[in-house]
């Protein structure tokens, strides 16, 4: 078991090495003010004039500027290569929830690896924020008070099935799998309720962050 290095009674923002929009970072930090950089994510933060509270990773992409600016005690090197920097961060954080930014939009393999981490460890209290999307692991049941027409995409990361109310295309009785049926580009007819069995990602417009947090029972501190 990994040693917990970062403890917070509020949310934690984890910043990856992909493109980081200031808007996404500000939205994340508004509810999760403690900031952990996953390795080279620290350089993105410094470029935006912000200092991470912690840096965690194998440090193979951490720039010299960040190394010089950060206190040595706030840099945690995890040399093993059996996990991604994102997973290294999550496994060393104890907090009610995590908002992850900078894990989409640069390299597809890094994005897929980050999404796989969410499902493999069943981190249902981690929400990934991108330029257009909000992604989280579907809990067994969730009620989302969405407006009519809101995009709702369901992407299986393994064999999955479920039931729904409020979706234009109901999912009752359907079997999902990455190499079979997927549930992207559905839409809400109003409030949506989902019951999910199996590893499923829920993707909503990024502006649904406050709504999703409330539905998942994650307080803003």
Please, how many CA atoms are within 13 Å of residue 219, restricted to the half-sphere of its CB? 6
Distance CA 152, CA 184 (A): 7
| Residue 28: per-residue pLDDT | 95
| pLDDT-flagged residues of the chain (< 50) | 221
| Residue 69: per-residue pLDDT | 83
CATH number of the domain enclosing 177? 2.60.120.320
H-run or E-run covering 111: helix 108-120
Residue 211 tokens read as 């709504």
Residues 127, 145 within the same domain: no
Is 1 inside any structural domain?
no
| Residue 220: per-residue pLDDT | 52
Residue 124 tokens read as 């249902």
Closest CA to 11 of 131, 130, 99: 99
Residues 88, 64 within the same domain: yes
| Residue 108: per-residue pLDDT | 85
Residues 61, 97 within the same domain: yes
CATH number of the domain enclosing 117? 3.40.50.10240
| Residue 66: per-residue pLDDT | 78
Is 40 inside any structural domain?
yes
Residues 115, 16 within the same domain: yes
Look at strands 75-77 and 141-144 and give their pairing: unpaired
Number of helical H runs and strand E runs in the chain: 6, 15
Residues 127, 146 within the same domain: no
Is 25 inside any structural domain?
yes
| Residue 157: per-residue pLDDT | 96
Closest CA to 53 of 6, 10, 103: 6
DSSP-assigned beta bridge partners for residue 155:
201
Identify each DSSP E strand in 9-140 by its residue range.
12-15, 34-38, 54-57, 75-77, 93-94, 98-101, 126-129, 133-137
Distance CA 5, CA 82 (A): 19
Which structural domain, as residue segments, surrounds residue 145? 141-202
DSSP secondary structure letter of residue 91: T
DSSP secondary structure letter of residue 138: P
Number of domains in the chain: 2
Residues 112, 180 within the same domain: no
Distance CA 28, CA 141 (A): 24
Is 38 inside any structural domain?
yes
Residues 126, 148 within the same domain: no
| Residue 221: per-residue pLDDT | 42
């Amino acid at each position: 078991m990994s040693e917990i290095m970062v403890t917070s009674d509020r949310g934690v923002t984890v910043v990856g090495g992909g493109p980081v929009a200031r808007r996404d970072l500000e939205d994340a930090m508004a509810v999760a003010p403690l900031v952990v950089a996953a390795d080279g994510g620290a350089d993105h933060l410094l470029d935006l004039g912000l200092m991470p509270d912690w840096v965690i990773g194998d440090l193979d992409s951490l720039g010299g500027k960040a190394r010089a600016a950060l206190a040595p005690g706030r840099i945690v090197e995890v040399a093993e290569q059996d996990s991604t920097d994102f997973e290294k961060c999550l496994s060393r954080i104890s907090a009610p929830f995590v908002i992850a930014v900078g894990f989409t939009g640069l390299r597809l393999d890094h994005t897929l690896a980050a999404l796989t981490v969410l499902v493999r460890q069943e981190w249902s209290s981690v929400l990934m924020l991108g330029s257009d999307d909000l992604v989280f692991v579907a809990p067994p049941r969730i009620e989302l008070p969405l407006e009519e027409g809101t995009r709702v995409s369901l992407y299986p990361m393994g064999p999955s099935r479920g039931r729904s109310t409020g979706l234009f295309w109901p999912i009752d009785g359907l079997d999902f799998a990455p190499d079979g049926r997927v549930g992207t580009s559905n839409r809400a007819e109003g409030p949506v309720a989902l019951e999910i069995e199996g590893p499923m990602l829920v993707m909503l417009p990024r502006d649904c962050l406050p709504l999703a947090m409330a539905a998942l029972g994650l307080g803003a501190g």
